[in-house]
């Protein structure tokens, strides 16, 4: 029968690793808690993620290893006293109070059609390097001179720095367990980028495109956030932290379709995200990415002395640690003057492999570390099988592992394997980019994600993320944020690799 190890919180007491067997009725679990706490089963109220456990069934409850179970109730021998404070039930708690009890992160208040900005801020928060850099950010200052001779010069903070400080304040508030109310952030964002301050007929601020918001914030942060470990970073990607961790490079081959005499030329282009154009043939993310790598473009031909059609073939020559992918779901309808939405279902993976999108030179550099992922995958499969059998490996039984760096030694902030893990999804619900609703979905812990719907943050299972692929009026993935898939190797393998060649030969003999 399925059995899980859960945590039970009763008042100030916390009981870790309590076995919960869903093959038995909930009354058996209550009996276990009675033996543990002395609280009679009929006096127990047991809650899981806001839902009260019924007497005879576990139906409707998503139970996993490590989940927090909240028990309320007192021992019968306790003398009744007049409560000094009114009892608090999860149903009556505020979002911040409920998240505190259930150990959930908090969200960001919607100030009126600001969900597009909230979703972007939540998704970017999943990047630890960027999160920490913003929290430790110190503004740039400019000397504006002085109105009086001999007086100290006036120092002003630039608008970009002020906006970064507003994001910093938002992150610090959230990290402190309180819901962020981004009044300053929203006002500064609209004043810095006036096109996001568009108002409707009733004077209310209008909904905006989250992808455009993402682009503007990344452009601003590129100017504000300094690089880290600059001395270990490739010189072409060392101008800022965004340059290090989010910028990749294409090697592009141009061939004129209309002239055989014109030589093939090669250029390089930087990018901050990949694009997945959606058409009737695209059913999977990878298909859309591959199709985008070859396109036809009209430009001036020096040989023909006129505009001509060129085939542009691109391959990735530098992979960033973090890879945003935009699902190009919107197109402009002239008749309605609106960015209409493509609702087509396009499947995306939890683990993305972009090896075949890279140049042969980069593929050669990626190959050595890629071979090590197979062993890690096999270990994870065995652990998952043990968990499904109801006998998950205990901490002391798990082999000791160590994480390897995900960047090349001479290019800090790059990706050295071509493997990525999905870290966040920004979705849109509605029929046009300037209407509807945006939500951020972020990875939380093993097998669990968080749905960050403004200030309402709720846990969801990993399998629910796959339902965001589109196909209807449900939330559709708009921006996928992939991060480096961390390689874990066994410590004993590492020690084996450090042995001198002569010693290894003797052991073999």
Which residues are known catalytic residues? 115, 437
Q: Distance between CA 291 and CA 332 in Å, rounded?
A: 21
Q: Do residues 439 and 497 touch, judged by C-beta distance below 8 A?
A: no
280 within 8 A of 345, measured Cβ to Cβ: no
For residues 164, 170, 174, 175, the Cα torsion angle rounded to the nearest 10 degrees is: 30
Q: Are strands 68-72 and 154-157 parallel, antiparallel or unpaired?
A: unpaired
- Picking from 280, 207, 218, the residue whose alpha carbon sits closest to that of residue 429 is 207
Residue 65's closest CA among 389, 415, 295? 389
Structure letter (DSSP) for residue 416: S
Contact 316, 250 (CB under 8 A): yes
Q: List the end-to-end C-alpha distance of the chain, in Å, as a whole number.
A: 48
CB atoms within 10 A of CB 223: 14
DSSP E strand stretches across 433-498:
437-445, 448-453, 456-461, 476-484, 487-490
**By C-alpha distance, which of 271, 281, 348 is closest to 315?**
271
Q: Are 362 and 316 in contact (CB under 8 A)?
A: yes
What DSSP string describes 57-71? --TT----TT-EEEE
Q: Which long-range contacts (CB under 8 A, 24 or more apart) does 358-364 make?
A: 358/315, 358/316, 358/317, 358/319, 358/418, 359/251, 359/315, 359/316, 359/317, 361/317, 362/315, 362/316, 362/317, 362/318, 362/319, 363/418
User: Residue 285 — left, alpha, or beta (φ > 0 → left; ψ -120 to 50 → alpha)?
Assistant: alpha
């Amino acid at each position: 029968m399925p059995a899980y190890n859960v945590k039970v919180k009763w008042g100030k007491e916390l009981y870790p690793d309590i076995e919960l067997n869903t093959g038995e009725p909930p009354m058996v679990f209550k009996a276990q808690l009675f033996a543990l706490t002395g609280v009679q089963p009929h006096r127990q109220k047991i809650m899981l993620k806001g839902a009260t456990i019924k007497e005879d069934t576990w139906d409707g409850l998503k139970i996993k290893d490590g989940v927090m179970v909240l028990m309320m109730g007192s021992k019968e021998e306790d003398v009744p006293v007049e409560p000094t404070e009114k009892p608090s039930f999860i149903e009556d708690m505020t979002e911040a109070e409920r998240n505190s009890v259930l150990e959930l992160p908090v969200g960001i208040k919607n100030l009126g059609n600001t969900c597009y900005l909230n979703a972007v801020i939540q998704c970017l928060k999943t990047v630890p390097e960027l999160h920490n850099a913003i929290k430790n950010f110190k503004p740039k200052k400019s000397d504006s001179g002085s109105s009086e001779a001999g007086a100290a010069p006036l120092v002003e903070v630039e608008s970009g720095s002020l906006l970064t400080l507003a994001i910093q304040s938002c992150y610090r508030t959230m990290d402190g367990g309180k819901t962020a109310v981004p009044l300053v952030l929203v006002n500064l964002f609209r004043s810095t980028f006036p096109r996001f301050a568009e108002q409707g007929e009733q004077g209310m601020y209008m909904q905006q495109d989250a992808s455009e918001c993402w682009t503007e914030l990344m452009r601003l942060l590129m100017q504000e956030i300094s690089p880290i470990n600059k001395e270990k970073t490739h010189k072409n990607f060392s101008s800022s932290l965004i340059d290090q961790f989010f910028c990749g490079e294409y090697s592009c081959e141009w061939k004129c379709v209309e002239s055989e005499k014109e030589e093939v030329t090669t250029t390089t282009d930087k990018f901050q995200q990949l694009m997945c154009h959606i058409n009737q043939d695209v059913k999977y993310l990878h298909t859309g990415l591959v199709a985008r790598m070859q396109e036809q473009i009209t430009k001036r031909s020096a040989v023909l002395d006129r505009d001509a059609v060129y085939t542009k073939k691109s391959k990735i020559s530098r992979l960033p640690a973090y890879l945003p992918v935009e699902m190009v779901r919107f197109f402009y309808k002239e008749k309605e003057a609106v960015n209409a939405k493509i609702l087509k279902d396009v499947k995306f993976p939890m683990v993305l492999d972009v090896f075949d999108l890279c140049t042969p030179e980069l593929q050669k550099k990626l190959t050595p570390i890629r071979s090590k992922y197979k062993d890690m995958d096999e270990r994870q499969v065995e652990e998952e099988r043990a968990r499904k059998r109801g006998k998950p490996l205990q901490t002391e039984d798990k082999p000791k592992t160590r994480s390897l760096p995900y960047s090349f030694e001479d290019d800090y902030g790059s990706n050295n394997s071509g493997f990525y893990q999905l870290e966040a999804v920004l979705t849109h619900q509605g029929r046009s980019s300037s209407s509807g609703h945006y939500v951020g979905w972020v990875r939380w812990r093993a097998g669990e994600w968080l749905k960050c719907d403004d200030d309402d943050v709720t846990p969801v299972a990993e399998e629910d993320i796959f339902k965001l692929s589109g196909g209807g009026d449900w939330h559709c993935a708009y921006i996928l944020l992939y991060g480096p898939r961390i390689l874990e190797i066994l410590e004993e393998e590492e020690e084996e690799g450090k042995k001198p060649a002569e010693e290894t030969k003797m052991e073999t003999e």
